Amino acid sequence: MDISCIPTGLIKALSLANKVIPHNPTHLILLNVILKAEPEILKVEAFNGQIAMSWTVRDANINTPGEVAVNCKDFLTLLNTLKDEVAITLSADEEYLHLKSQQGKEAKFAKGDIEEMPWIDSLTEEEIEQVSIEADDLIQAVEETKYAVATEMAKAILCGVCLNFDTDEENTVEFAATDGHRLARTRVLYEPSENNPENKLVMPTETLTLTAYALKQMETSEEIAEMVTISFDENKIQVDFSEGFIRSRKLDGKYPDYEMLINGDDFSLDCTFNRKQLLEALKFIDTFAVGKDSLCFIDFDPEEKKCTLRSKENTTGSAEDTLEVEDINGQAQSLGFNSNYLKQCLKAMPGDTVTMEITETTGDQPGPVFISPLEEYKTFGLVMPIQINES
């Protein structure tokens, strides 16, 4: 293999590969990245046992095709010191990948055994279901839902985002995520294909976040992906964009019926907030929002048109902040919340103004609270209040 290229393009590809590379791999070979010099293009590929990526470096001159495997972290770290170089050359012999810069700097990297590198099979052509989504819409959908994904592997199916395809005239796909304590949902349009989806798809969060990262990387270059294609069969998913693809296994199992939580419309109170002011108030009282639930309280007072946010730690202190609100209707009440859940939900919301709608209490259990942007109705978050006795 013998090639020359501009370092910045290769750095961009390796940065994505480095996010795929596992920190504690079951096999050390998974620490490597594959460089494939084909007659016209250079491809960078990585696999961690679950997720594979392939990225095309288009500003490479291929003198001699070939492929090598080298340690991704070491290669990226060294290349980052050369990002201002006009060009570098890469050549391989039996043992090493040699790097030379135009300023005379040289390095060599021990080659891994490329024959030992595992890979994930392609999708089964006969089983493929497929849609296309605008890149910006996909990035936004990921940002608006990923915060609600479960992090406990005991709830494996909840460690992903559920894509529910509506095949009506609107052609919308719903992104939903829940960890059992909160829910995030948003909708975007998709472009139908000959193989429109008939099933829900649960995508691992890592697959979606890697895709969003790749698309953001492309936004900083001249190659901007306008459309992204999501394809899946019974076991695998592939996301294709102009510079390459990300492929992974699907999450197995049945996703919970979250519609049960959102079909009710009996609200005991609704209140409109400036999103940034509410976030700042939560940050202010956070010092004393302690315990595993990061407990805080919100007192809703429709008569005085205000809401008071409070936190208290029995031995160290307390904090409170009062917000005046113009639009608040319903019954005065106090609710306990996980402060972190509220902040994460608000940070993911678009727009300047959010509406909080509190459902009727069932017995002693407070109902779910809906948070949505006033200007946007396709997105909302749901947070379960904490049942607490302050006395």
pLDDT at 219: 66
| Nearby residues of 214 by Cβ (< 8 Å), 6 or more positions away | 16, 53, 55, 241, 243, 244, 246
HSE-up of residue 256 (Cα within 13 Å, Cβ side): 20
pLDDT at 125: 87
Pairing, β 236-241 against β 244-249: antiparallel
Q: Would the CA dihedral through 287, 293, 298, 299 be positive or negative? A: negative
Q: Is 204 exposed, middle or buried (0-12, 13-18, 19+ CB in 10 A)?
A: buried
Strand partners, 106: 100
pLDDT at 265: 65
Helix pair 275-285, 339-348: axis angle to 10 deg: 150
Q: In what order do the strands lie in the sheet with 172-178?
A: 201-204, 160-166, 172-178, 182-189, 380-383, 369-373, 353-359, 267-274, 328-330
pLDDT at 389: 66
Pairing, β 32-37 against β 66-71: antiparallel
Which pTM was predicted?
A: 0.90
Is 138 in a helix, a strand, or coil?
Answer: helix
pLDDT at 97: 98
CA nearest neighbour of 325 among 304, 297, 350, 346: 304
> What tokens does 277 get?
């002011």
Report all structural domains of the chain as residue ranges with CATH numbers, in order of start: 2-116 (3.10.150.10), 125-249 (3.10.150.10), 264-383 (3.10.150.10)
Residue with tokens 């940050």: 283
pLDDT at 152: 79
pLDDT at 115: 93
In whole angstroms, how far apart are CA 359 and each of 135, 174, 243, 364? 35, 23, 46, 13
> What tokens does 391 get?
């006395």
Along the chain (391 residues), what's the average pLDDT of each consecutive run of 10 residues? 94 96 92 95 96 93 97 98 93 97 95 94 91 94 96 85 83 94 94 83 95 84 73 94 93 88 80 96 93 92 97 92 94 95 96 93 81 86 84 51
Residue with tokens 């030992």: 116
| Number of other CB atoms surrounding residue 316 within 10 Å | 9
In the DSSP assignment, the letter for residue 352 is S
- Contact assessment for residue 238 and residue 207, using Cβ atoms and an 8 Å cutoff: no
| Number of other CB atoms surrounding residue 304 within 10 Å | 12
d(CA 123, CA 256) in angstroms, rounded, equals 26
pLDDT at 220: 58
d(CA 237, CA 244) in angstroms, rounded, equals 14
